[in-house]
């Protein structure tokens, strides 16, 4: 019997999923117990690479907490395999395949694309204007420096204050030249992107997880590709801007999904937001969340906005509704939990949604 490509990928994905599940159940779960107890394990290096905070957090949480985390990792892998399987089936159909191809063909004028790249540059410069100061202060505490991922792979040492100011200055100059120059802007955009991501890595290596800057980091990583498309006058097929939009929408969806996967229904318990407000001594939040039904509704509202944000591509005519709800979400976090700033960097990234509707998935668009 001849096996077509769809059957092959279905079989491969589900076989991989089954192997991962059995390996976890019969091998990896018991290794988590050994690592937690401080006993020798062949998998300890994996924890060092991908979860360096484990050695600190194991002092605060019981074994059951980390077993639940590893269970969640397996669940995530299963969900990813499921999504890919559905995706392969979806794209095997003629009409969805054409819609998918048109979806990435976002068209802007030359001026629109150039100004959008400049605005992204300006937002990144503004977002990073305090990083050199922060890292200079952190460099005085080298015992807290735990390099993560690429910094660990490349074995990059902790820099001095002068070193951080040099990287930061080089990044600002490169961003400026990216915005001003035409012929050589691709080179400078690559330098700016590298330094932006590198400085983010150093910040995270001190356990300072700057979630507000995540969407801008995705925009920066795609900036060189956007500059290249502008240089090549590919204004009828700006897939880079579409990928920026998809990245931000995916970040919202994953933020909502993580809340459900980690906290389950407990996330919607009134105590959740009450505790957060009390931790930050947010007066408005402590007053409002004292009313339990309102506390629960706010939790539901937040998760619903995050999970439904990707629908902005299916209903582009309601773009301003989705973006407006996003602004309300971040403004609410600032006012009621006193976290971040009133105009969150997440909201800054909405600039890439300047144009959504062209060949979207909406059939009547």
Q: Residue 168: count other Cβ atoms within 10 Å of its Cβ.
A: 21
Q: pTM for the full model?
A: 0.83
Q: Average the pLDDT over 171-196 and give the result.
A: 88
CA distances from 203 to 139, 198, 222, 255, 321 (A): 10, 9, 21, 21, 34
Q: What does the block give as tokens for 219? A: 């925009």
Residues 6+ apart with CB under 8 A from 49: 149, 152
* Interval 294-320: pLDDT, tens: 999 999 999 999 999 999 998 988 999
250: burial class by Cβ within 10 Å (0-12, 13-18, 19+)?
Answer: middle
Q: What does the block give as tokens for 154? A: 């490349």
Nearest C-alpha neighbor of 117 from the set 282, 351, 357: 351
CA dist., res. 100 & res. 360, Å (int): 8
Report the pLDDT value the prediction gives residue 208, as an integer from 0 to 100.
63
* Interval 208-258: pLDDT, tens: 666 788 899 999 999 999 999 999 888 888 999 999 999 999 999 989 988
| For the chain, domain boundaries | 5-92, 109-234
Residues 6+ apart with CB under 8 A from 28: 43, 70
Nearest C-alpha neighbor of 73 from the set 114, 119, 20, 124: 20
More confident residue, 189 or 148: 189
Report the pLDDT value the prediction gives residue 29, as an integer from 0 to 100.
79
Residues 122, 179 contacting (CB under 8 angstroms): yes
* Interval 71-125: pLDDT, tens: 887 777 777 777 777 777 777 677 777 888 888 888 898 899 999 999 999 999 9
CA dist., res. 66 & res. 11, Å (int): 31
Q: Residue 129: count other Cβ atoms within 10 Å of its Cβ.
A: 11
Residue 329 pLDDT level (bands cut at 50, 70, 90): very high
CA distances from 347 to 82, 191, 214 (A): 31, 25, 12
Report the pLDDT value the prediction gives residue 8, as an integer from 0 to 100.
67
């Amino acid at each position: 019997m001849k096996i077509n490509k769809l059957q092959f990928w279905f079989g491969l994905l589900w076989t991989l999923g089954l192997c991962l599940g059995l390996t976890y159940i019969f091998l990896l779960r018991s290794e988590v117990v050994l690592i937690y107890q401080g006993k020798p394990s062949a998998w300890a290096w994996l924890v060092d690479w991908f979860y360096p905070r484990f050695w600190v957090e194991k002092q605060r949480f019981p074994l059951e907490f980390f077993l639940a985390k590893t269970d969640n990792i397996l669940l995530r892998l299963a969900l990813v395999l499921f999504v890919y399987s559905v995706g392969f089936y979806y794209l095997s159909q003629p009409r969805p395949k054409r819609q998918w191809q048109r979806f990435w063909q976002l068209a802007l004028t030359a001026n629109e694309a150039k100004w959008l790249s400049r605005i992204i540059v300006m937002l990144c410069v503004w977002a990073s204007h305090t990083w050199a100061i922060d890292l200079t202060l952190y460099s005085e505490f080298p015992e807290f420096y735990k390099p993560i991922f690429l910094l660990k792979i490349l074995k990059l040492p902790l820099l001095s204050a002068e070193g951080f100011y040099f990287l930061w200055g080089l990044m600002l100059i490169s961003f400026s030249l990216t915005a001003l120059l035409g012929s050589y802007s691709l080179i400078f955009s690559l330098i700016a992107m590298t330094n932006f991501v590198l400085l983010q890595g150093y910040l995270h290596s001190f356990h300072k997880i700057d979630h507000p800057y995540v969407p801008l980091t995705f925009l920066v990583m795609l900036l060189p590709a956007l500059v290249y498309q502008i240089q090549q006058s590919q204004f009828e097929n700006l897939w880079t801007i579409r990928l920026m939009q998809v990245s931000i929408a995916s970040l919202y969806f994953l933020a909502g999904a993580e809340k459900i996967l980690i906290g389950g229904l407990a996330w919607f318990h009134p105590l959740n937001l009450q505790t957060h407000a009390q931790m930050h001594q947010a007066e408005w939040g402590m007053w409002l969340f004292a009313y339990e039904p309102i506390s629960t509704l706010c939790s539901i509202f937040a998760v619903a906005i995050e999970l439904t944000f990707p629908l902005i591509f299916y209903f582009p005519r309601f773009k301003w509704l989705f973006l407006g709800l996003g602004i309300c979400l971040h403004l609410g976090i600032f006012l009621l939990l006193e976290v971040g700033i009133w105009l969150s960097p997440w909201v800054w990234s909405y600039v890439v949604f300047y144009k959504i509707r062209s060949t979207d998935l909406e059939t009547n668009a």
